[in-house]
Every structure is written in C-alpha cells, then in structure tokens.
Chains A and B, each alone.
Chain A
Amino acid sequence: MKNSFSPDTEGNSYRHRHHRWLWLAGLLVLWELIRRISGVNPLLMPPLGDILMELVHGIFKGMLVRRWLLSMALVCGGLAAGTVLAMILVVISSTGRGASSFLSLISSLMHPLPGLALLPLVILWFGTGTPAVLFIIIHAVLWPIFVNLESGVRSLAPAWTGYARILKLGRWETFIRISLPGSFPHLISGIRTGWARSWRAFIAAEMVFGAVGILGGLGWQLFESRVMMDTPALYSALLVVMLTGMAMEEIILARWENRVRRKWGEPGDTGMAAE
C-alpha cells in the first residue's frame, strides 16, 4: 500500500508557492514605482531594466555563470568536507565521556564565532587563497552539523542501539549502519543550517578577502561591482546570491528533508496499512 498524503497539504503548499511568485513580482514593481515617483539617483536605485539587462549580459557574455559555478563548487565542497568532519567528530565524541565533554566545549566555543572574526589568523595559517576560504566555509558548516548530528545520535531509539550490541557491531559499523542513518533527519537540519551559514560566510569572506583564485566567485562579483561603481551589476549579483540561497534552501534541501520525513512516517502518517 502506498503512503498517501492528504491532497489538502499539497494544495496548500502549491498555493503558498504561487503566492511567493506574486509577491516577488510585486516587489519588483514596487521597486520601479518608488524609483520613478521619487526620482532617486539611479546610482542608488538603478532602473529594473538595467539590472535585468546586466543580469542577462552577465549570464551570456560576462563571467556570472563561471563565478556562480565556482561559488557553488566551493560552498558545496566545503559543505561535504564539513559534513564528513562532523561525522568523524561525532564518532570520536561517542568514544567516552571525556571526548564528548571536550568536543561539546569546543563546539559551544566555536559555534557562535563568525568565521570572518578569524580572518587574520586564517591568513597566518592558510594564506589567502582557496584553502583559506574553504576553511571559513568549513568552520561555518562544521559546528551546526556536528551539534545536530550529535543530538540525533543521542536521541536514537534505544531498541536500535540495543540491537547494535546484540549483533556485536563495532563502533564504526554501528555509526555507519545505525547512528548515521538513524539521525538522518537531524543531519539534514544541520546541513540546512550549514548551507545558509556557509553561503553567507563565503560571500562575506570574498568581499573582505578578495577573489578566490583568478576568477573569483559571487562575493567577488559584488565587491568588484561596488568598487567600480557598477550599480546595476551590483544589484544583479545580489539577485543571483539571494535567488541561489533561496532555491537551494527551499527547493533542494527542504524537499530532501520532506522526503526523508515522509519515508520515516513522521508528519502525516496516514498510510497505515491494515493487517
């Protein structure tokens, strides 16, 4: 029997999404209205047309696509590395009370620390290139994922951990076969937070730090258009940054989380089969 979902929820979320596009269009219209009525300096608020032209130009002729790809590659790479690192830390933390309390101290010290605050130290340790920016990204993702994953591992069903003992699974095998998949919903929430943090950290790092590699990413695009006073390009890059952040968060990660939760039967477990 298939797990069916109430069509009501689907209809709501559809309408909800529909509304968003309307709002977005409304915001753009409002932008243009305010600009025209107030006669504000176009260097402050360029015409919508200029921004969109710049966006199209950037995509087809400029370096926007390559910079976007570079940004995504770095952030996703950092996200993957941070996830693996968080998993290793969780396994280490499961080895005993000492390790666990030490790591929890480190994570509560590091979690609230913005990566940019570490910038002078990062330059000392990693220089200024890709490794430094990767460090900033990994710092941004590691702690939220670690904290989430660990609370996931702590809240595993006792029957699962007991079963691991009965089957005499080793530490790694228990982690890979039970703890990790068993705390997957927590892991995904961690990755969602990590994504939001790393995307922001990357853009900010590039704006303070300079381009990554020769090309630079979207943060560099923002910085460059700012210092060169290319306001339409600045807004078009901002638009790309916002839309990418939103798309990744709402379209990819949220759907992934929903799919897992649905499989686990967590929200609307309506598909109970009869004996």
Chain B
Amino acid sequence: MSNRSVYPGPAALEMKDITRRWPGGEPVFSNLYLSIPRGSICCLLGPSGCGKSTLLRCAASLDTMETGETLVSGEAVSTPSPERQLILQDDRQLFPWLNISENILFPVRRSTAGSAEGLLEMVGLADSGSLYPSQLSGGMKQRAVLARSLAAEPEILLLDEPFGALDSEIRKRLHRVLLDIHRKRKLTILLVTHDVNEALILADTIIYMDSSGKLSQPEVNPLGDERNMENPQFFQATMKMRKRYGLLIG
C-alpha cells in the first residue's frame, strides 16, 4: 500500500459485523467487516445490484442495519453527520432554487463570500457561481456537489458512482479534481464503482463485492503511484483484475 497518504491511529471508517436485509427478509449482505485507514482512497468494486450502494448508505448511517456497528475514528455512530458527506450519481442533488454559490455554502452556517470562491476554484467552476443548477451540465453539477460537500469540512467522502453518468473525457477531468482535493484536504474516501479503470485510477486499495454481497480481501492498487492510463502496466493490471473477478469485457 502506498504510504503517501495514510496516517497512524484508528481507521477513519470501520464497519464491524454488519448485516442489512431487503424488506422481504433476504440479506443484502451479512456479517461484513470493512476498515478504511485515515487518508486513504478505497474503491468498492462490484456488479450493479450487489448491494454496494446500500453498504455506502449504511456507512453514512442513512440506512439502519440489522446487526453490527459503524465506527468513525474509533467511535461508534448511529446517525448521519456532516463529517461523512455522501455524493450520488443523482442529477437532482443540488437545490434548484439556489444559485451555485448558495448551493455550495448551504452546509455553512455563516457564509463568507470568499469561501465560496475558493471552493468554486478548487472544483473548476470559478465563473459559474451565479448560475442556477438548471443551467449546468451533468459534469458541472457533480463538481458543484463536490464543492458543497467540501464546504461542510468533512473527514470522509462517500461517493456512489459519482461520475457514472458522464462521458469519459469529463470523467477523466473529474478524477483529477478528486485526487487534487484528496491531496489538499487529507480526506478519507470510500468510492463505489463498477468500473475497473476508475478503481485503478483512484484507489489506494480495492475491495470487490460479489453479487451475493460478500467482500474480497482488500487489494493494494498494483499500479503504485503511477495511476494513469499512460502507465504501460495499466492495461495488464485491468485485465488481471477483470479476470480475477470475472468482469470480462463483452
């Protein structure tokens, strides 16, 4: 594991023995254990419908679990809190009645004009603060949502396929924005995706969730610090991972 961004002390997010059932009683997943070290980026990879979004909602304490507990920095939590910010793929996360600056400052009780500008710049929306969400493209909206979650000064970002609906060019740019933010803000990130490439580009560790809701052992990103598609080993690493988890193309 790359030690560039991992800090000592208890894990930023730890989930012990967690079980969550469908309304019918069938378990989505049961007795899982998950630990994410402070400052690391962990990607939860898996096919759609396997329960990884539910796991993320449980990590945010938005869904209740039948068994188990969630610990943030070693302390048990049972209700949502601003330190764990959740970002979805949903097109309607921003508030349409507020402009982008107002949306971004929504979590801040007493806003100062400067703080919105800094966040807008960080996500590359410097000139768009006065626009309304209906005037933004999908990528711009996700940038704004990212900026809004940063305004709450979180410790953990929980991302559920945040770039899933975007085309690849925009996606690539947003990956860079996310990594940039991670470096500057020393955040812990848990990202859910079904895209192996995305996992290899972003993650320190990768965990695979299969369609029956079981988790694999965490795997350190084989690309080390050279996580980009220009790395000659990228294609090989992708193929290896696809093979291991049965995620063949076509």
Do A and B interact directly, with beta carbons closer than 8 Å? Answer: yes
Q: Which residues on A are within 8 Å of B, measured CB to CB?
A: 1-3, 157-160, 162-163, 165-168, 177-178, 181-182, 184, 260, 263-266, 269, 271-275
Query: Measuring CB to CB, which residues of chain B are less than 8 angstroms from any residue of chain A?
Result: 60, 62, 79-82, 84-86, 88, 90, 92-93, 95-98, 106-107, 128, 131-137, 139-140, 152, 170
B245 to chain A, nearest CB (A): 30
CA distance in complex: A265, B135 (Å): 7
- From the candidates B137, B152, B170, name the one contacting A273 in the complex (CB within 8 A): B137
Which B residue sits closest to A184, measured CB to CB? B97
Q: Tell whether, in the assembled complex, residue A273 and residue B140 are in contact, meaning their CB atoms are under 8 Å apart.
A: yes
Known: A165-B62, A275-B170. A157 touches B81 (CB 8 A): no
Of the listed residues A2, A157, A178, the one surrounded by the most CB atoms of chain B closer than 10 A to its CB is: A157
Count, A-B residue pairs, CB within 8 A: 81
Out of A1, A168, A269, A272, which one reaches B82, CB within 8 Å? A168
Assess the A163–B132 pair: CB atoms within 8 A: no
Q: Known A265-B135, A272-B137; judge A159-B93 contact (CB<8 A).
A: yes
Contact A263 B97, beta carbon cutoff 8 Å: yes
Contact of A273 with B131 at beta-carbon distance under 8 Å, contacts A162-B86, A165-B62, A165-B80 already known: yes
Cα distance A184–B96 in the bound complex, in angstroms:
11
How many Å from the CB of B177 to the closest CB on chain A? 12
The smallest beta-carbon distance between B120 and chain A, in angstroms, is 15
23 contacts between A and B (CB under 8 A): A1-B135, A157-B92, A158-B90, A159-B90, A163-B86, A165-B62, A166-B62, A167-B106, A167-B107, A168-B81, A181-B97, A182-B95, A263-B97, A264-B134, A265-B133, A271-B135, A272-B135, A273-B131, A273-B135, A273-B136, A275-B137, A275-B140, A275-B170
Contact B137–A274 (Cβ < 8 Å): yes
**A253 CB to nearest B CB, Å:** 18
Query: Shortest beta-carbon distance, A273 to chain B, in Å?
Result: 6
Q: How far is the CB of A190 from chain B (nearest CB, A)?
A: 17
Residues in A whose Cβ lies below 8 Å from that of B140: 273, 275
CB of A166 within 8 A of CB of B139, answer no
Smallest beta-carbon distance B84→chain A, Å:
7
Chain A proximity of B25: nearest CB distance (Å) = 23
B101 CB to closest chain A CB (Å) equals 15
Residue in chain B with minimal CB distance to A165: B80
Task: List B contacts of A264 (CB < 8 A).
Answer: 96-97, 132, 134
What residue of chain A has the Cβ atom nearest to residue B98's Cβ? A181
Measured between beta carbons, the chain A residues less than 8 angstroms from B132 are: 3, 263-265
